[in-house]
Amino acid sequence: MNILDKIIADKRIEVDLKKSLIPVHYFERMPFYERKTISLTKKLRGSDTGIIAEFKRRSPSKSIINDTSAVDDVAIGYEFAGVCGMSILTDEIYFGGTLDDLITARQSCKLPLLRKEFIIDEYQIYEAKAFGADTILLIAAILTKAEIKHFSELAKSLKLDVLLEVHNEDEIHGSIMPSLDMIGVNNRNLKSFEVNLDISKQLSSLIPDDFVKISESGISSVEAIKELQLFGFKGFLIGENFMKTEDAGESAKQFIKDLKR
């Protein structure tokens, strides 16, 4: 089994356990369930920088990235830095994230929040809504076309934006549909965890302009973003580059300042 297969196998066990303990109707009574969501898609369309800054403690490829920064401090820092949105990893086993991180970030800032998760069940979409997310991530590599359609349409009915992550040409051709808002090209191979920014460049022309194009993973320089903007990318997901510093918010602020020069 590769890393992705292990993550999904563990995720199925985790979701099944949660479903047996907490029914969906419980989420509908949570305070954030009825809140008006903030569109990440609209924020990105109106931005000239397009930074989506991530809160990330660790990853399978890099182990611990930052286990000292508090999510509320980082959320406030990112908002002050002027990012377009914030991505919150909620997978605990492999990334050290929790749903508490999502709800804490929601209480700490007014940024659109992306729940970064391996979604394999509609249960997780109701959960995302209840814990304060504005956008969900769907990963083409782990879902069928029918699942992408069902999950994205459910998310839209809950007023959540949908970011579909792709890695290759087949995933683009097999997954594009009107219920998506953004298409994210992950420059990291989820099976080997190797990173190559050329993947975004190679796939950019295959993504229809109806969708906001986002480049994810391995972006660490202003030059890389300026180059990717020439290929039509409006959003740039950056986590490790900010989180590996002592002050992620300050790091993001300086990065955006440099990008605007």
- pLDDT value for 2: 85
In a domain, residue 172? The reply is yes
* Residues acting as catalytic residues: 54, 56, 116, 165, 186, 216-217
Q: Which residues contact 141 (CB under 8 A, 6 or more apart)?
A: 4, 165, 167, 171, 190
Which residues of the chain have a pLDDT value below 70? none
In a domain, residue 206? The reply is yes
In a domain, residue 184? The reply is yes
**Residue located via tokens 């069928």:** 144
Q: Which residue range(s) make up the domain with 225?
A: 3-31+41-258
* Among 91, 105, 167, residue whose Cα is nearest residue 134: 105
Which residue pairs from 187-193 have beta carbons closer than 8 angstroms and sit at least 24 positions apart in sequence?
187/215, 187/216, 187/217, 187/218, 187/219, 188/61, 188/216, 188/217, 188/218, 190/3, 190/4, 190/139, 190/141, 191/2, 191/3, 191/4, 192/2, 193/3, 193/60, 193/61
Q: What is the pLDDT of residues 60-84, one digit of tens each?
A: 877 899 998 999 999 999 999 999 9
Number of folded domains that form the chain: 1
In a domain, residue 36? The reply is no
In a domain, residue 102? The reply is yes
In a domain, residue 90? The reply is yes
Domain of 227: which CATH number?
3.20.20.70
- pLDDT value for 61: 76
- pLDDT value for 60: 85
* C-beta separation of 89 from 97 below 8 A: yes
Amino acid in the structure at residue 129: K
